[in-house]
Amino acid sequence: MTIVYTPKPPYYAVIFTSIKTSNDEGYEEMAELMVALAKQQDGFLGIESARNEIGITVSYWKDLESIRNWKNNVDHQIAQKKGQQYWYKAYKTRIAKVDRDYGFEK
């Protein structure tokens, strides 16, 4: 696991927080497909994800237009509908502008 290297700000973060149902059928395959598809989108900068009781996925984007295009992607919309029908008990999406970032690495 690595931390995504992002360019100098500003850029945007889409924070997707979720609580899953007990239905896992097809979830991992769809999640992997969505990551692969997102990586092909113009403006995609990277993704980080963690899951325990609550799942948190943060994807990074060049601008709001790139985020809008990803949201409107047909395959992504199919995944969103399946998530609402089968996989998620609850979720929240937040979009934030990153004005500053800093870090540390050994």
- Domain membership flag for residue 5: no
State the pLDDT at residue 29. Answer: 95
- Domain membership flag for residue 3: no
Percentage above 90 pLDDT, the chain? 94
The shares of helix, strand and coil residues in the chain, as percent rounded to the nearest 5, are: 35, 35, 35
Q: Radius of gyration (Cα) for the chain, nearest Å?
A: 14
End-to-end CA distance of the chain: 15
DSSP secondary-structure letter at 39?
Answer: H
Q: Which two tokens stand for residue 42?
A: 């113009």
- Number of folded domains in the chain? 1
- Domain membership flag for residue 49: yes
Domain boundaries, position 85: 25-98
State the pLDDT at residue 5. Answer: 93
State the pLDDT at residue 73. Answer: 96
CATH no. for residue 85? Answer: 3.30.70.100
The pLDDT tens digits for 44-66 are 999 999 999 999 999 999 999 99
pLDDT of 2 strictly over 90: no
What is the mean predicted confidence (pLDDT) over 37-47? 97
What is the mean predicted confidence (pLDDT) over 90-101? 98
Residues 6 or more apart whose CB falls under 8 angstroms from that of 41 comprise 66, 69, 70, 73
- Domain membership flag for residue 13: no
What is the mean predicted confidence (pLDDT) over 72-83? 96
